[in-house]
Amino acid sequence: MKVMCAMSGGVDSSVAALLLKEAGHEVVGVTMKLWGGSSDTGCCSVSDVDDARRVAQQLDIDHLVFNFGDDFDTHVVDPYVDAHANGVTPNPCIECNREVKFARLAERAELLGFDAVATGHHASIGSLPDGTLTLERGHDTKKDQSYVVHMLDQAQLSRTMFPVGGMDKSEVRARAAEIDLRTADKPDSQDVCFITKSDGRESFLGDRIPFRSADVVDMDGQRVGAVESVEMVTIGQRKGLGLPGGGPKKYVVDVDVKAQVVTIGDDADLLRPTLSVTKMSWVNGEIDGRVRVQASAHGATKFAEISPSVDGGIDVTWEAPQRRIAPGQSVVFYDATDRRVLGGGICR
């Protein structure tokens, strides 16, 4: 099989390419040039491209670099900025997977005659007796990334491979060390690639949108503080709210960007019995009923009943009230075993 392996310059994608070659596939490594600005985190720095190229040389496979910068700006960076300007908390890494890695890259692979695209994600693809493909958690539950690839449907799964999905992270690093891959001890990337550690999110957004101050009010509407940038505030936030020290913990329970008001309350004030999800994608057709729901990359799942809403989204009713999820965050549904991804969408 001819496989295009996305190589980010990290150890997971490096070992993915190794495993594919060992399995006898014709492998070509590809690194995507996505962000044109400065980067000292994530998978977009010059050193990451160099690491991927050097690993490809060690494995004796061809290595290509594709420039998808325009797509990245259009589908990831611009929506990220717009979301913050409107008081929404986006997940840019999921949108990058949706719009670039499993869309543009897969499209390029098909045009070039590849049979599949492989990545270093810790997720697994299985099948049911009738041949239906399943998207499942990676073997290493601490590194599982099924949440961030939940948007894959049957057609995409049929042309996708996750070679390290059945391995523990320690096994991945051990395999890389066996042949002295330069990425064997490289730390995992955990940050948004276009937000630098040196400047941070506030600097990045401040260069692109005007920040506005906002009053901080309690649950009775009484002013108790102020923030300089309402666009930087998100649901559940505790710090940076201009509140005096001491007293019980307070959390952001609502952000109204237009009115320039941030409402804070106790932990109990964050609890909600329901949740609304839009922009749905399904692994194998729409479902309803009792499911497990995950609302952060490594968060625990909670049981809920889901049903179609009148506007085409999904209504989620928690078995027990849960903390409010920030609009813009991804919400992913799993089956009762907490292993198989059913689908997911965006909280609104």
So where are the chain's domains? 2-178, 211-265, 270-347
Q: Which residues are catalytic?
A: 96, 193
What pLDDT, in 10s, does the model give residues 132-185? 999 999 999 999 999 999 999 999 999 999 999 999 999 999 999 999 999 999
DSSP assigned state of 24: T
173 φ/ψ sector (left φ>0, alpha ψ -120 to 50, else beta)? alpha
* CATH number for region 2-178: 3.40.50.620
What DSSP line would sit under 208-239, residue for residue?
Answer: TS----EEEE-TTS-EEEEES-GGG--TT--S
**49-53, 136-140, 159-163, 316-320: range with lowest mean pLDDT:** 49-53
Instruction: Say if residue 220 is exposed, middle or buried (CB neighbours under 10 Å; 0-12, 13-18, 19+).
Output: exposed
Nearest to 294 by CA among 259, 334, 248, 258: 334
Rounded average pLDDT over 275-280 = 97
pLDDT for 140: 97
Is the pLDDT at 83 greater than 80? The verdict is yes
How far apart CA 140 and CA 174 sit, in angstroms, is: 14
Residues 6+ apart with CB under 8 A from 326: 88, 89, 234, 235, 236, 347
Is the pLDDT at 40 greater than 60? The verdict is no
pLDDT for 246: 76
We find that the CATH architecture of domain 270-347 is Beta Barrel (2.40)
Whether 211-265 and 2-178 are alike in CATH topology: the answer is: no
Report yes or no: 100 and 107 within 8 Å, Cβ to Cβ: no
How far apart CA 200 and CA 194 sit, in angstroms, is: 9
Instruction: Name the percent of the chain lying above pLDDT 70.
Output: 97
Q: How confident is the model at residue 192 (pLDDT cuts 50, 70, 90)?
A: confident
pTM: 0.93
What pLDDT, in 10s, does the model give residues 249-262? 999 999 999 999 99
Nearest to 17 by CA among 104, 117, 111: 117
We find that the CATH architecture of domain 211-265 is Roll (2.30)
